[in-house]
């Protein structure tokens, strides 16, 4: 026996219907609010995250600078410190901080550098060694990726909250129907099995 196609009625929760309950209308509002929050909230959160990443990269570029450093120890014979194909190793270097004090620390240098070799290192405002700041292109890529991730996360959280709310509404509706069927069955004087 062939099944008859079931027509899908759109927006049935919003239409006047004698079978519609208050929980159906409430569920429709929850769905609408969830989608609006997921789309609009995700968009604004993503834009805010991208802007924060851009400002952080700009601040790093302003605060960090290069200084001349002297290699204190030989770098020959040390094990490479980076990914395959990167010939740099960690070695002790000495530099002059902005306050005029001499400092030493570990920096990545060429694997074949002799002691006394000069090179540049990046320092922060206090004179501590730090990583090179992001370039404009790298900052844009980080901002775009961060914005997309935050927007997706906020949208996903909003839609997950809608799913949880709908689950609880559905459970409550089933409990109400069970109570009403129980009342109808006892009104007829028999139990439906």
Q: Tell me the pLDDT tens digit for each residue of 166-179.
A: 999 999 888 888 88
Q: Tell me the pLDDT tens digit for each residue of 73-107.
A: 876 666 666 666 667 788 889 999 888 889 998 88
**Could you say which residues of the chain have pLDDT below 50?**
none
Closest CA to 88 of 129, 121, 128: 121
Angle between helices 136-188 and 42-63 (to 10 degrees): 150
Query: DSSP code of 119?
Result: E
Q: What span, in angstroms and rounded, lies between the C-alpha atoms of 58 and 35? A: 34
pTM above 0.85, yes or no: no
Per domain, the residue ranges of the chain are 22-59+137-161+173-188, 65-132
């Amino acid at each position: 026996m062939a099944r008859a196609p079931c027509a899908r009625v759109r927006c049935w929760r919003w239409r006047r219907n004698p079978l519609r309950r208050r929980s159906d209308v409430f569920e429709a509002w929850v769905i609408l609010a969830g989608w609006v929050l997921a789309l609009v909230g995700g968009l604004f959160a993503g834009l805010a995250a991208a802007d924060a990443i851009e400002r952080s990269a700009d601040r790093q570029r302003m605060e960090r600078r290069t200084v001349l450093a002297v290699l204190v120890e030989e770098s020959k014979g040390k094990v490479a410190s980076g990914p395959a194909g990167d010939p740099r190793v960690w070695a002790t270097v000495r530099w002059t901080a902005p306050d005029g004090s001499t400092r030493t620390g570990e920096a990545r240098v060429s694997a074949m550098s002799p002691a006394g070799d000069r090179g540049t290192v990046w320092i922060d405002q206090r004179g501590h060694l730090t990583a090179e700041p992001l370039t404009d292109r790298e900052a844009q890529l980080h901002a775009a990726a961060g914005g997309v991730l935050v927007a997706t996360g906020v949208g996903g959280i909003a839609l997950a909250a809608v799913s949880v709310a709908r689950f609880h509404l559905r459970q409550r509706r089933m409990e109400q129907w069970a109570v009403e069927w129980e009342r109808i069955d006892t009104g007829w004087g028999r139990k439906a099995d």
